[in-house]
Amino acid sequence: MDDVSEIKTLIDQAKDILIVTHINPTYDSIGSALSLYLGLKGIGKTVTVACPTSMIVEYSSFVGANKLQTTIAKKNFVISLDYEDGSIEKVSYNIEGKKFNLIIEPRPGFEEFSESKVMYSHAGTAVDTIITVDTKHLGGLGTVYEEDKDLFATHPIINIDSHLDNAKYGKINVVGTGGTTAELIARFLTNHVTAQTFEVAAQCMKAGGKQIMPQQSIQEHISPISQPQEQIAPPKTQNPPEDWLKPKIYKSSNLV
- Is the pLDDT at 200 greater than 70? The verdict is no
Nearest to 175 by CA among 154, 160, 195: 160
The per-residue pLDDT for range 12-34, each reduced to its tens digit, is: 999 999 999 999 999 999 999 99
> If you compute the radius of gyration of the chain from its CA atoms, what whole number of angstroms results?
41
**Per-residue pLDDT reduced to its tens digit, 49-83:** 999 998 888 777 788 888 999 988 776 788 898 88
Query: Do the Cβ atoms of 121 and 72 come closer than 8 Å?
Result: no
The stretch 149-177 carries a mean pLDDT of 93
Its pTM stands at 0.62
Domains recognised in the chain with CATH numbers: 3-75+124-206 (3.90.1640.10), 85-122 (no CATH)
| Average confidence score pLDDT of the chain | 79
